[in-house]
Amino acid sequence: MSLSDQTQEHYRAFQRSAHAAGALDVKTKELIHLCVAITLGCEA
Protein backbone atom coordinates (compact mmCIF):
# COMPACT_ATOMS: atom_id res chain seq x y z
CA MET A 1 0.00 0.00 0.00
CA SER A 2 1.33 3.39 -0.93
CA LEU A 3 0.42 6.70 0.69
CA SER A 4 -0.15 9.74 -1.45
CA ASP A 5 2.52 12.43 -1.50
CA GLN A 6 0.16 14.81 0.28
CA THR A 7 -0.51 12.30 3.07
CA GLN A 8 3.20 11.69 3.52
CA GLU A 9 3.93 15.43 3.71
CA HIS A 10 1.17 15.96 6.28
CA TYR A 11 2.61 13.14 8.39
CA ARG A 12 6.11 14.63 8.15
CA ALA A 13 4.74 18.03 9.22
CA PHE A 14 3.00 16.38 12.17
CA GLN A 15 6.22 14.62 13.18
CA ARG A 16 8.22 17.86 12.96
CA SER A 17 5.70 19.74 15.10
CA ALA A 18 5.40 16.91 17.63
CA HIS A 19 9.18 16.73 18.05
CA ALA A 20 9.80 20.48 18.18
CA ALA A 21 10.69 22.09 21.47
CA GLY A 22 7.73 23.56 23.30
CA ALA A 23 6.35 22.85 26.77
CA LEU A 24 8.75 19.89 26.81
CA ASP A 25 12.23 19.97 25.33
CA VAL A 26 13.15 17.57 22.53
CA LYS A 27 15.29 15.28 24.76
CA THR A 28 12.42 14.84 27.25
CA LYS A 29 10.06 13.89 24.41
CA GLU A 30 12.58 11.32 23.15
CA LEU A 31 12.84 9.78 26.61
CA ILE A 32 9.04 9.60 26.90
CA HIS A 33 8.85 7.88 23.50
CA LEU A 34 11.50 5.39 24.59
CA CYS A 35 9.67 4.60 27.85
CA VAL A 36 6.37 4.09 26.02
CA ALA A 37 8.03 1.82 23.44
CA ILE A 38 9.64 -0.29 26.17
CA THR A 39 6.41 -0.46 28.18
CA LEU A 40 4.41 -1.60 25.15
CA GLY A 41 7.06 -4.14 24.16
CA CYS A 42 8.04 -2.47 20.90
CA GLU A 43 10.84 -4.27 19.07
CA ALA A 44 11.87 -1.29 16.92
pLDDT of residue 43: 66
The per-residue pLDDT for range 19-28, each reduced to its tens digit, is 787 888 888 9
The C-alpha angle 21, 16, 25, rounded to 5 degrees, equals 15
CB atoms within 10 A of CB 33: 13
- Amino acid present at 19: H
Judged against a pLDDT cut of 70, whether residue 44 lies above it is answered with: no
Q: How confident is the model at residue 41 (pLDDT cuts 50, 70, 90)?
A: confident
Q: How far apart are alpha carbons 31 and 10 in whole angstroms?
A: 24
